[in-house]
Amino acid sequence: MKIRIRFRKYGVMKFIGHLDVMRYFQKAMRRAHIDICYSEGFSPHQIMSFAAPLGVGITSDGEYMDIEVHTSASTEESLRALNGVMVEGVECTGYVKLPDQAKTAMSIVAAADYDLYFKEGYAAPVSVSAFADGIRDFFEKPDEVLITKQTKKSERVLDIKPLIYGFQVTDRGGVPSFYLKLSTGSTDNLKPELVLEALFLHMGLTYDPNAIQIHRKDVYASDGDDFVSLGAMGEVIE
């Protein structure tokens, strides 16, 4: 039986890297007595995969992992068992059964959306309306948005406009807050901080990564001309 679990990551747990999160959930499965399947062979491991690794320092309400189980309690009971062994900073919010032929979340991720806002103690360099004008000039009006992306071996010029599905600024208590919906996955993966840094550069502003909190809202699969949340692809277990 294939299960998709949705969880949120917040507080000090945002500083825990992806590999440690994987190890954490492996232990949590045992402590919660989830009847998870193991691979065969010389070194068996839990059958578990994550949709899209979350960068260190980023919080999220929409993280996903897929597991395979021999048997399962109801969604309500399973969530209660998992959250009973969670530390502060991680909370499981979804537990659904997937069709037998369903692909893993990792293989179908196509997009993710984010909120980016100034942390407490940091001031925005310009007003909400100024950022709105900047987004129009930087993203909406041009046919292409070229940036120089640093790779491990070299630099390359990349047009990121086709990879940005949404870009807005709103008023968050008098402070600018940015919304981004971006291409995500193994093929075209665009980081939100890269887009915001490019906007600041276009506007002649200094981008301070320490001033911005990035929060991932959800992760999506492609559904023709639209996107569907990975959490909406299963059914609740009664």
Q: Decide if pLDDT at 154 tops 90.
A: no
Give the pLDDT of residue 149: 77
What is the 3-state secondary structure of 179-229? EEEEECCCCCCCCHHHHHHHHHHHCCCCCCHHHEEEEEEEEEEEECCEEEE
Could you read off the pLDDT of 80-113 as tens digits, one per residue? 999 999 999 999 999 999 999 999 999 999 999 9
Structural tokens at position 141: 């009006």
Residue 212 CA, chain-centre distance (Å), reads: 16
Neighbouring C-alpha atoms within 13 Å toward the C-beta of 174? 3
Give the pLDDT of residue 162: 95
Give the pLDDT of residue 186: 80
Q: Decide if pLDDT at 151 tops 80.
A: no
* Dist CA 5 CA 237 (whole Å): 12
Could you read off the pLDDT of 159-218 as tens digits, one per residue? 999 999 999 999 988 899 999 999 998 888 999 999 999 999 999 999 999 999 999 999
Give the pLDDT of residue 94: 97
The domain limits of the chain are: 2-108+229-236, 123-207
Find the mean pLDDT for residues 69-84: 97
Find the mean pLDDT for residues 34-48: 93
Give the pLDDT of residue 188: 86
Neighbouring C-alpha atoms within 13 Å toward the C-beta of 232? 9
DSSP string covering 2-59: EEEEEEEE-GGGGGS-HHHHHHHHHHHHHHTT--B-B--SSS--B-EEESSPPPTT-E
Residues 6+ apart with CB under 8 A from 219: 51, 52, 62, 63, 64, 105, 109, 111, 112, 184, 229, 230
State the architecture of 2-108+229-236 in CATH terms: 2-Layer Sandwich (3.30)
The pTM score is 0.93
Residues 6+ apart with CB under 8 A from 159: 144, 145, 146
Reported confidence tier of residue 67, pLDDT bands at 50, 70, 90: very high
- Do 27 and 86 meet the contact criterion of CB atoms below 8 Å apart? no
* Dist CA 121 CA 129 (whole Å): 21
Give the pLDDT of residue 152: 74
Q: How far is CA 71 from CA 18, 36, 160, in A?
A: 27, 8, 44
Output the CA torsion sign for 226, 4, 191, 196: positive
Could you read off the pLDDT of 162-171 as tens digits, one per residue? 999 999 999 9
Could you read off the pLDDT of 116-138 as tens digits, one per residue? 999 999 999 999 999 999 999 99
Q: Decide if pLDDT at 76 tops 80.
A: yes
Q: Decide if pLDDT at 150 tops 80.
A: no
Q: What is the chain's Cα-based Rg?
A: 20
* Dist CA 183 CA 219 (whole Å): 10
Percent of the chain with pLDDT over 90: 88
